[in-house]
Amino acid sequence: MEDEVSGVENQVGGFMREIKEEFKANHELVVSKLRDNATEVSTLKTILSKQGNILEILANMVAILEGTKKSASKGIVAAKKAAALLADVKVPASDSRPPKRKLDFAELTEDDMTILYLIWQRGIGSPFAFYHHKGLVMLGKETSKCLDLLFWPPTGMRFDGDELAVAVFIFAAGMEESERLVDDEHCDGSRKRLLSLQPGQQLFDNVINLVVGMCTHHKDASMSWWLPTTFSIYIPMHIGRHWYLMIVDIWEQKLIYLDSLKSNDAEETDRRKKQMKDVAKYLGMLVRTCSFWKNKVAHPPLISEFDPEEAITGQQDPGLMDCGVWVCQWMLSCHKWLDYDIEPIDASTRMRIATQLVSGPHNSLAETITEKAVKFWNAEMVRNYKEEAAGGAVTKGPRRSTSPSI
């Protein structure tokens, strides 16, 4: 029996070395080899399933045979332990098959993990296991077309690190809308709210609040205000289903009026500016009563006396519901560039805000969500591989897309 087990070990080792060399030489040959040896692979899996710790031992042995561990002596020890466990195991009939397991993106099976190593990108839009991508930067057009997304990544948009997987995880069809993607104590950061960032959708006020939380992430938890000479207050304004932004510039003593869809109706414009003055009045009352003025070093500004000033900005397409996205982008950009005339909003802007909200350092769930996103991506690639191997229909393009850039 010992000689037979030794023969099994040698066959496994030889098989793995052969597969490794063929993988380097020809990817298609590797796939063919695995399919031709389906019976042997099935038999080996059944043997492994009947022994509690043999999987770990054999995995270590295979890793050594593949050259991923340095010490050859460890391979000998692992082989002896595997032989001892295999000695009393009866090999099942060749027609036996291991039980199938439902694919779940949170936990791939051993077979699925093997398949992942066979999925390499062969062209723009083709499937690939996420960490097989060789570059740190991915483009939207590289997104595998086998995915089913509600919002397709714009073709020329750049994604760093894991951002593309996160974007796919946010906007994948059929996902649980109530799943919390952004941790915020003041508002709902669920997928349902972030889905309003799809082009053509009216933005939920929760998203604007989440952006505010992201912008103030590094502020003191006590909400104390420290006023440098360039201090400004950003206040999203909402009137008649329309969003615009008021910036209270303390140094210049102005109320900056930023509106992506200015009205041609003078009365409507006056109504928006009056709303700004009303908010400034109450803000002035708040500032005058704040404790940071008690040192008598400075006098509180009379914000209610500041005059509104219209800034020169680009204007949105009146037929699109982009006003809330413009407000978000102003809050994210103006304090960096001191320029209110930002680039026009498009699908990339919406997706960028979504990925920043989920992946940013302000989100305590960022690491967990990113890990789930990569697992989801890989599980979808495995699903596509299995469908293609079974002769099923494989998606060759986005099944649906709300992005006009596609």
Which domains, and CATH codes, for the chain?
A: 2-99 (no CATH), 115-177+366-389 (no CATH), 192-359 (3.40.395.10)
Residues 143-176 have pLDDT tens digits of 999 999 999 999 999 999 899 999 999 999 999 9
Q: Is pLDDT above 80 for 337?
A: no
At 117 the three-state DSSP class reads coil
Q: Are 151 and 161 in contact (CB under 8 A)?
A: no
The torsion region of residue 125 among left (phi > 0), alpha (psi -120 to 50) and beta comes to left
Q: What percent of the chain has pLDDT over 90?
A: 36
Residues 44-58 have pLDDT tens digits of 555 545 444 555 555
**pLDDT at residue 122 in the model:** 82
**376: Cα separation from own chain's centroid:** 10
Residues 82-95 have pLDDT tens digits of 555 444 444 344 34
What residues have CB less than 8 Å from 5, skipping those under 6 apart? 82, 83, 86, 87
For residue 66, the tally of other CB atoms under 10 A from its CB is 13
Higher pLDDT, 107 or 78: 107
CA-only gyration radius of the chain, Å:
29
Q: Is pLDDT above 50 for 402?
A: no
**pLDDT at residue 349 in the model:** 95
Q: Are 355 and 236 in contact (CB under 8 A)?
A: no
Give CA–CA dist 331/286, Å, rounded.
Answer: 22
Quickly tell me which residue has 């008690």 as its tokens: 294
**pLDDT at residue 101 in the model:** 34
What residues have CB less than 8 Å from 400, skipping those under 6 apart? 148, 149, 150, 173
**pLDDT at residue 59 in the model:** 56
**pLDDT at residue 333 in the model:** 83
Higher pLDDT, 21 or 201: 201
